[in-house]
Structure 1
Amino acid sequence: MGKPSRVLHFQGRMGKGGAETFMMNAYRNIDRSKIQFDFLIYDDFKDVTPYNQEIISLGGNIYIVPNPNKHILSYIKVVKQLLIDKKIDIVHSEIFFGGGINLWIAKKVNIRKRIVHSHATSDGKGNRFPLQVIRKLFHYLIKNNATDYLACSHEAGLGLYGEKQPFIFVPNGIDLEKYRFVPESKEHLRESLAISKEAFVVGNIGRFEDQKNHTFLIDIFEEIVKINPNSHLILIGTGSLQDSVKEKVENKKLSEKVSFLGERNDIPELLKTLDVFLLPSLYEGLPIVAVEAQAANLKLVLSTEVSKETQLSENVHFISLNKNAKEWATVILTEPFGNKPKLELEIYDMRKTAKQLEKIYLE
């Protein structure tokens, strides 16, 4: 058997965000005798390393390059040489804003398969005139240099490619069984977190960045506490806004009711401690955390900016960000709190997604 095809993933960073988690799930399940993954990381994020050891153990490489947002010419030069020297067979770009540059470089060095993958409905950078011009250039580079177009949802595809470009829907697969069957009891898991077994527990998983809208999330939780004082909030993740969110929690005198857990490896167990999963994001594609929460049979309350395709179970509520925090709190506190998955959830079995990716890579 010949050497496996090497796929270079343009990620920018390899923290525990949705796109990174998806690609690691795929890497664990793909046939690595046929396909091997490598990851391209910006030097600003070289110290974000939760997956590095596992990547290396699976046979992958991590390449550190200049951040194109700061050193675009150096980035182009370094990436061009990297693609040649490391004998990359396929490029897979998950960068929403500016990903077209990666495909253009790959085409310049004659890489025949150049994949672009949308994981969001927006780049979140606003619509100021200079950004509109740059965005059109990047879209032009995608259109003229990509060979394969992927998206985690219909809305994510439209968000990056527009209405005229066909694309392939690739589900954000997970290990469904891991979330369905957690052997430990909810009471024991709450006890380990010093949370009362009688408390009403709301949770969120996401980087502390503007997109995830933690500021409004804290406003919502404040209203929840006014209605039900025996409530608790679990926040999982890290990010540049974490300190400011902690400060807001302290100012609202909610510190004893909010747990900041950082990055965790026990997400199935943590989801089992919750009554409701809350995601008031400013924009999303089809978030993996929402799939995980539904596999764990939780009630979900999401913003209307999250793709409607996220609804894979019966007890999912979409609320406009124009509604005030009290209205959000009322929906969150309304029973029932469990959930029943639909058949569509089975599409998100990562073993199926990995087979789909294999087919795309090897065509």
Structure 2
Amino acid sequence: MKVLVVGMTKNPGGIETVVMNYVRNADPRRVQFDFLSASPYIAYEDELLERGSRVAHVPLRHEHPIIFRNELKRFMDAHANEYDAIWVHLCSLVNIDFLKSAYSHGIPKRIIHCHNSQNMWGGFRNMIHAFHRGQITKYATDYWTCSEDAVEWFYGDGIKENPKYAYIPNAINPEDVVFDAHKRIEVREAMGWGGKVVLGNVARLHPQKNQSFLLHALAPILTPSSNVILTIVGDGVLRDSLCQEAEALGIADNVQFLGLRDDVHNLYQGMDAFVLPSKFEGVSIAFLEAQSNGLPCLISDTLSDEGIVNDNVTKLPITAGSEGQWLSAVRQLDDSGNRTQHPHVKGSRHDIHQQVETFYARLRC
């Protein structure tokens, strides 16, 4: 089957990782993935091209709305009849133009895949999302979600009764991040982490991910005299303001902003704990990866239990005044470095090898 994938951006974030996990683990004799994006370049594009995928680009809609519509129509006119399915990954229903175009051009299977439980931006976009929510059953044939907690906000009431609704848990390849004691030593030496307690956050620098709360909560143990450091892996709109906050709090020396990295799987090896204070999520890929590595994880209690597979996960509040609970939890972390007792992702519903088989079946039905 030939599948046209929409939703990848230049940022190697959660959606991009989800898609690549399928691309890397699906049988290319059974499914061919091509890509259409309103980004001039998408994460992993070179790898996709090497794997034989076709990658096409249209202009950003908000920058060039007329050219966007014309280029999208031109692509669909030329290629829609080549595809058995379009797989549209979205964090909200603000832009469903790709889905509408697939509908009008007759792509038979039109999958919309939900990846978030709230609108990241709010305001007028909430109104557009709500309007499109009432239209979505006209344009899509299949309704997938990475989190059942996200369903009501994203799709509205009643979608679970639709026979084409499916809960598709986010999944990773556990072997990619399995704990390796020798690699841990190498990473810590290369990163200059020897003798430090390393708290890791892997996420976009965005209000949703709530890194500002983390800086304020952990400031008392991130002082220059401390052996604790916070490593933030990712980039985004808040990078400058977060750097300024770290400076203002006097903890800049013990907070590392590593930006986008292509060695995140190795960085987990050198960390001592994973911290995720997000205001909301679908199911965080980084959280699954951290668990697969066996890292103790501190996450916000606003997140559902769907992505929890290990027994060393602690949920904590992120309300005003709760910073002390995060501080206390960090101080109580086991610093033995023994993570071999905890990785339970392998064989679970979050194992990509399990989900690829479900993917094949859903494509055929």
Match of 1:354 in 2: 356
Match of 1:255 in 2: 252
- Secondary structure of the residue aligned to 1:309 is coil
Shift of 1:110: 1.1
Please tell me the residue identity of whatever aligns with 1:204: N
- Secondary structure of the residue aligned to 2:287 is helix
- Secondary structure of the residue aligned to 1:335 is coil
Please tell me the residue identity of whatever aligns with 1:123: N
Which residue, 153, 157, 162 being the options, matches 1:163? 157
Equivalences for 1:74-89 in 2 at 5 Å? 74-86=67-79, 87-89=82-84
Shift of 1:12: 5.0
Deviations 1:318-341 (A, max 9, x none): 222214322221122223465624
Q: For structure 1, list consecutive stretches of 5 or more residues without a partner in the other structure.
A: none
Matched, 1:101 2:116: no
Equivalences for 1:304-343 in 2 at 5 Å? 304-322=301-319, 323-336=321-334, 340-342=342-344
Please tell me the residue identity of whatever aligns with 1:64: H
- Secondary structure of the residue aligned to 1:94 is strand
Equivalences for 1:118-157 in 2 at 5 Å? 118-126=114-122, 128=123, 130-157=124-151
Checking the alignment, whether the CA contact within 8 Å between 2:40 and 2:58 is kept in structure 1 is no
Checking the alignment, whether the CA contact within 8 Å between 1:118 and 1:150 is kept in structure 2 is yes
For the residues of structure 2 that align with 1:208 and 1:39, how far apart are their CA atoms? 26
After the TM superposition, which of the residue ranges 232-241 and 341-350 deviates more from structure 2? 341-350
Matched, 1:215 2:212: yes
Matched, 1:114 2:110: yes
For the residues of structure 1 that align with 2:265 and 2:148, how far apart are their CA atoms? 27
Shift of 1:40: 2.1
Shift of 1:204: 0.5
Match of 1:295 in 2: 292
Match of 2:86 in 1: 91
Q: For structure 2, list consecutive stretches of 5 or more residues without a partner in the other structure.
A: none
For the residues of structure 1 that align with 2:201 and 2:333, how far apart are their CA atoms? 19
Shift of 1:201: 1.3
Deviations 1:225-249 (A, max 9, x none): 3698210111111222222222222
Which residue, 3, 17, 23 being the options, matches 1:21? 17
- Secondary structure of the residue aligned to 1:135 is helix
For the residues of structure 2 that align with 1:248 and 1:64, how far apart are their CA atoms? 37
Shift of 1:156: 2.5
- Secondary structure of the residue aligned to 2:113 is strand
Q: Cα distance 1:227–1:330, how it changes in 2: closer, same or farther (>3 A)?
A: farther
Matched, 1:31 2:27: yes
- Secondary structure of the residue aligned to 2:215 is helix
TM-score, structure 1 length as denominator? 0.89
Checking the alignment, whether the CA contact within 8 Å between 2:197 and 2:272 is kept in structure 1 is yes
Deviations 1:146-186 (A, max 9, x none): 11111112112333113310221112111112222435243
Checking the alignment, whether the CA contact within 8 Å between 2:179 and 2:294 is kept in structure 1 is no
For the residues of structure 2 that align with 1:196 and 1:274, how far apart are their CA atoms? 11
Deviations 1:73-95 (A, max 9, x none): 44333223212312333111112
For the residues of structure 2 that align with 1:270 and 1:132, how far apart are their CA atoms? 36
Checking the alignment, whether the CA contact within 8 Å between 2:172 and 2:350 is kept in structure 1 is yes
Match of 1:224 in 2: 221
- Secondary structure of the residue aligned to 1:184 is helix
After the TM superposition, which of the residue ranges 333-342 and 183-192 deviates more from structure 2? 333-342
Aligned residues: 353
For the residues of structure 1 that align with 2:253 and 2:32, how far apart are their CA atoms? 46
Please tell me the residue identity of whatever aligns with 1:225: L
For the residues of structure 2 that align with 1:206 and 1:138, how far apart are their CA atoms? 28
Shift of 1:351: 1.8
Equivalences for 1:43-82 in 2 at 5 Å? 45-47=39-41, 49-82=42-75
Match of 1:7 in 2: 3
Deviations 1:288-342 (A, max 9, x none): 1111011111111111232221211112122222143222211222234656245
The alignment yields a C-alpha RMSD, in angstroms, of: 2.3
Q: Cα distance 1:307–1:225, how it changes in 2: closer, same or farther (>3 A)?
A: same
Percent pairwise identity: 27
